Amino acid sequence: MDAAIQQKVDQWLNGNYDAETKAGIQKLAVENADELADAFYKNLEFGTGGLRGIMGIGTNRMNKYTVGMATQGYANYLKKCFDKVSVAIAHDCRNNSRNFAEIAAGVFAANGIKVYLFEALRPTPELSYTIRTLGCQGGVVLTASHNPKEYNGYKAYWNDGSQLVPPHDKNVIIEVEKIASVDDVKWTGGEENIEMLGKAMDEKYLEMVKGLSIYPDVCAAQNNLKIVYTSIHGTGIILVPDALKRFGFTNINIVEEQATPDGNFPTVVYPNPEETEAMSIGLAKAKALDADILLGTDPDADRVAIGVKNHKGQWVLLNGNQTAMIAFNYMMEARKAKGIAQPNDMVVKTIVTTNMIDKIAAANNVNCYSVLTGFKWIAELIREKEGKENYIIGGEESFGLMIGDKVRDKDAISAVALCCEMAAYEKNKGRSLFDKLIDLYLQYGFYKESLVNITKKGMNGAKEIAAMMEGYRSNPPQQLDGKPVAQLLDYELQVGKNLLTGESWKINLPKSNVLQFILEDGTSISARPSGTEPKIKFYFSVNTKLNSAAEFDATEKILDDSIERIVAEMGLK
């Protein structure tokens, strides 16, 4: 074994770690030396969003020691920034999430920090809302979102309820890295600083969600809208059914096979509503019941997936771009129709989310901003524009929406309720959400998006991903699908370049390792390493005119074929 790795192993074997941990290390040393090396070859990185990794023994794993050390560093930074500090803590359904939440609460409390700890699992968006409602300086939610069951994570929040952004993200990382050993952590003492939260906060949050409804009269008229909902064994079951009832819906059909919170996610391979497999039981139930809409949320209930019947009466799942586009359009159109639109309304999306939203916003005279991937950047823009512009909705292609500004992270609870209101609004006119989707394509052009994920695990994975990005950066494609690559946007170098004229300009966004290729016809291809998984992601967006609803299938095939050719030309197949 590498000497540096062996030194870390020896520190754990000889340090103040419990007997079970030491026995586990010794067992791995005998049975699986490669796994032991992977568990210790580096420290689990406290990135700009916190921790995320596989659970287990070692410095490169999520366990009570890495959680405790991260919490000590975060506590130290909070105390540097504020005279009086309080934090809120929530957790999802994952194995060890409650244990990690209690460890984090104990460390904060031992550092003299007031802790509001939820009594049991709660959705991530409620944690964001709670920070704002209680005036906390920070917060933590223990979740690995939609990752596989062996993962867990630790998301750190700031006093506005958003995840950390500069300079706080980097400053917290510096403080966390100063914690050299478990002996630097205050593990116990101060238990009197911990206060439990429960139904009273749920009530406040649900009333806030209810207040987001634009057409309560339509929800009342269509109260029998046939809704199928699956929580995919996650936290959504705690609040989604109640939120739907408060919107006035009475025909709510729960996917019982997936209703019990369970960190083993027994009915799915991958607890991600973006995956058709994860939604398959819900789709079957929606079809059997002849439902109006199917909705699914991920383990911490910040992502939402929608299933609807298409123009042929077949059940399909909308992709994240389609969901965002319909929701953005609804918020702008409905507010205008209701007379509550403001001249300074604004919407926010991310740079890898469909540009069709920009066209819809322009047609409605609403400012549309594009920010880096992640809702913390949407939250930062809200802060920057506060008092000047009125934020109404934000979203990204990865199945996230943030409606209104009371929560500063993606919120699937309010998104489920709003999506059902949108379905009710269309049904009230004798139409479906898919009919509305086609109408929007007819009006603004048919935009089709696709995503390719390439996974590179283990010690060499990060190097391979870095090499791929560097290859595209230094040697960008000159032509794709028979069309010249007109622009290269490099968000890491913060430079945009017209490859046809040589003209360049500065990109006024924070640095981020993202590359975008824009073809002459507006097609865009984006490449970015995931911040939470060992993946590199490629986003494809093509568009053309849709001449009539009857040409939907033929036009979609043209766009799908274009994406297929680009994927093949880039060697990603």
Active centre residues (catalytic): 145
- Give the sign of the dihedral formed by CA 379, CA 381, CA 383, CA 387: negative
**Distant-in-sequence, close-in-space partners of 118: CB < 8 Å, separation ≥ 6:** 88, 89, 90, 91, 101, 126, 127, 196, 197, 198, 201
| Of the candidates 512, 522, 240, the residue with the CA atom closest to the CA atom of residue 356 | 522
Helix, strand, coil shares, percent, the chain, to 5: 40, 20, 35
Q: What's the rounded Cα separation, in Å, for the pair 155 and 169?
A: 11
* CB contact at 8 A, 465 and 515: no
| Angstrom distance (rounded) from CA 537 to CA 199 | 39
The C-alpha torsion from 453 through 456 and 461 to 465, rounded to 10°, is: -20
Residues 29, 25: Cα–Cα separation, whole Å: 6
C-alpha pair distances (Å), 572 with each of 388, 527, 537, 561: 44, 12, 11, 15
Q: For strand 86-91 and strand 138-142, is the pairing parallel, antiparallel, or unpaired?
A: parallel
How far is 98 from 288, CA to CA, in rounded Å? Answer: 36
What's the half-sphere exposure (Cβ side, CA atoms, 13 Å) at 86?
Answer: 16
DSSP 126: H
β 151-158/138-142 pair status: antiparallel
483 SS3 class:
strand
Rounded to whole angstroms, how far apart are CA atoms 73 and 172? 7
